[in-house]
Structure 1
Amino acid sequence: MRVILLGPPGAGKGTQAAAVKERYRIPHISTGDMLREHVKGGTELGRKAKEFMDGGKLVPDQLIIAMMEDRLSQGDCENGFLLDGFPRTVPQAEALDELLSRMGLQLDAVVLLEVADEVVVQRLSGRRVCRSCGAIYHVSFHPSSKGDLCEACGGDLYQRDDDREDVIRRRLSVYHEQTSPLEAYYDAKGLLRRVNGEGATDAVLRCLEGL
């Protein structure tokens, strides 16, 4: 099973990806994780990427594609993979198509988790994190019984900067601007599958089982 998972921040991609990984025994490949591994390992690609990151610049698509080729060539991808966070734009999707063609691989599906913006705002803006142990709570869905203190260690709970409503809405705006053309791109190829991201945690699994 070779799948791309798309969806806005807060759509639950991590939860859905874990279920797909377990069901199909395929690796969950996150662009962010891949970048961090190369930088931490001091690879040639990682060193080049770090230069851009340290300068506050986006890592060029060609570097990401080179890392992706390296990752997809590893043994655990023989039975498939789940891509999360890539591609984000149509040029990246075209570059990925070229890479997969060179490798003799084809995508099975591109699954889009659809979640209303207001639901995303509610999910993310309500998160609170413990400064001491990192435990995560939610003011509506999983509040601490100790109010503004962590149940586990008594540390202060705080709202991360990227969980502020104004920041979330900006992130959503960028996401929609980039992803709308991507939806059309994969829809034209007959690969796009839309899934309600506000529903059950096995929604993506049920979608893939129908392929």
Structure 2
Amino acid sequence: MRLLIMGPQGVGKGTQAALLAEHYGIPAISTGDIFRYNIKNRTELGLEALKYTDKGELVPDELTNTIVKDRLAMDDAQGGWILDGYPRNASQVEALDAMLAELGTPLDKVVALDADHEVLMERIAKRAAEQGRSDDTPEAIAKRLATYAKETEPLLDIYRDRGQLVAIDGVGEINAIQAAIVEVLG
């Protein structure tokens, strides 16, 4: 199973990706987690990413595409994977299509989670307090949600047109949301 999990920040993509990864026995690959790990450990990649994330900006495509391609080529991803937080714009869709063609591993489905703006803001504020994430300031959150609406949300139409999109309400009990996703995926 090769899945994308998409939706605005705070909708529960990471939570559902982890649950689905366990359910299907495949890795959940989060570009955000990869960048946060590198930031925490002050690696060259992390310091470069920090220049963007601290301002609420997204890490440039070239850097993101490279880490995704490298990660999808790893041994544990050969049987499938769940990508969380990628692609986030039309250029990255093209890059992902090229990567998957090169690897000979077509995409199966795209799970799109959604929730009202107020719910997202509450969840992100709670996450910031619990995890102390420097990238979850109110200003950064607002900027990322606006960027998602402008650049990433339109990608759902691409996957809908390809017959790969599965839309799921991201509000409710975590296990019920997971069950709904698994049921729709079959």
**What TM-score, normalized to structure 1?**
0.71
Q: Larger Rg: 1 or 2?
A: 1
Name the Cα RMSD after superposition: 3.2
Q: Is it true that 1:207 corresponds to 2:168 in the alignment? A: no
Tell me if structure 2 keeps the 8 A contact 1:52–1:58.
Answer: no
The Cα of 1:55 is off from its aligned counterpart by: 5.4
Larger relative contact order, structure 1 or 2 (CA cutoff 8 Å, min sep 6): 2
Superposition deviation, residue 64 in structure 1: 2.3
Deviation at 1:207, TM superposition (A): 2.4
Residue type at the aligned position of 1:210? V
> Counting helix residues as a fraction of each chain, which structure ranks higher?
2
- Percent identity, aligned pairs only? 39
Alpha carbons of 1:161 and 1:69: their partners in 2 closer, same or farther (altered >3 Å)? closer
Q: What are the residue-to-residue correspondences of 1:32-71 with 2, within 5 Å?
A: 32-35=32-35, 47=44, 49=45, 52-53=48-49, 56=52, 59-71=59-71
Map of 2:113 onto structure 1? 113
CA 1:81–1:126 in structure 2 vs 1: closer, same or farther (change >3 Å)? closer
**Unpaired stretches in structure 1, ≥5 consecutive residues:** 130-135, 138-157
2:157 pairs with 1:180: no
Amino acid at match of 1:69: K
| Structure-2 residue corresponding to 1:3 | 3
Distance 1:127 1:30 in 2: 16
| Residue type of the alignment partner of 1:75 | D
Q: Number of residue pairs matched? A: 180
**Structure 2 unpaired stretches of 5+:** none
Instruction: String of CA shifts for 1:41-63, please: whole Å, max 9, x gaps.
Output: 99xxx74x467446558644233
Deviates more, 1:32-41 or 1:108-117: 32-41
Q: 1:209 to 1:177 in 2, by over 3 A?
A: same
Judged with a 3 Å threshold, the aligned counterparts in structure 2 of structure 1 residues 119 and 125 are, in CA distance, closer, same or farther, namely same
Runs of 4+ in 1 over 6 A off after TM superposition: 38-42, 158-161
